[in-house]
Amino acid sequence: MGRRPRIDLAGFHHIINRGIKRNNVYKSDEDKKKFLEIVCKACKIYKVNIHDYCLMDNHYHLLIETISENLSLFMRQINGNYAKYFNKKYKCSGYLWQGRYSSWYINDEEYLYDLFRYIEQNPIKAKKSKRVGEYPFTLLATILTTNQEIIECAKHSKLKSEIEYEGIQEHLEMRLSKKELKELEIRQNKKPIQTEYGYKYEKTKTLQEYFNKSKTKQQRNNAIINAVEDGYKQTEIAKYLELSNSAISKIILESYKSGNSIHGT
């Protein structure tokens, strides 16, 4: 299977990188602080903002925003400089990282807010903490700790600017359901397609594939919800099924009220 195309397009990106063979890339808190120092130096050079981060022992998550098409250069600076630091400190040689970093372009706000939850809940999943904001090497923990200074490259974080809004912290604490995790996985696995206006993501199925096995009204309605969550417009679905736009909206609204859909509006 070929690699997904590297997207350097300016905008928001979710970055993950792991140690080779899932080995630890941080052996102490000092290492994690050094990594963040290297990140901030690279941010200054390439004009990048950090909106969230989580440093686990054997991998990291970064949620960044670039203003130029320089993601690859930015990441090369971080991974290369930290590997030099780590190998020199621990008298190692060879590769530190498992390979090229993984990145996903974020093309809507709902996806962005789901990623805030995903990143901040990483330590809970790894049994490093019980609540979001407790594990020290996440941006949220730094924001919530009054005597701890936020790293310079995250001073303009969207998470920081909105943490005081009513409900945002409660939103971060809402555990991601299996359905939501599956939806994130689907988003990440979609193939990016370049257009003259930037990037968009191809649909996972055609409308025919969604509806050709729908024998009952409920199966059809479930297919409508799945198609909407895949990115199809309600007007596209209405035209394909020869239904009115209001009929599609009603089906989606009823599903949303029943809790069967996250992205049904």
Per-residue model confidence (pLDDT) at position 99: 84
Choose among 120, 113, 241: nearest CA to 180: 113
Please say if the pLDDT value at position 8 is more than 80: no
Note the pLDDT tens digit of each residue in 129-159. 999 999 999 999 999 987 888 999 999 999 9
Q: How far apart are CA 98 and CA 146, in angstroms?
A: 36
Torsion of CA 60, 66, 70, 72, to 10 degrees: 20
- 242 φψ region: left (φ > 0), alpha (ψ -120 to 50), beta (else): left
Q: What is the value of pTM for the model shown?
A: 0.73
**AA letter at 242:** E
Which residues are CB-contacts of 31 (< 8 A; sequence separation ≥ 6)? 25, 86, 89
Per-residue model confidence (pLDDT) at position 3: 46
Note the pLDDT tens digit of each residue in 29-73. 999 999 999 999 999 999 999 999 999 999 999 999 999 999 999
Q: Are 188 and 104 in contact (CB under 8 A)?
A: yes
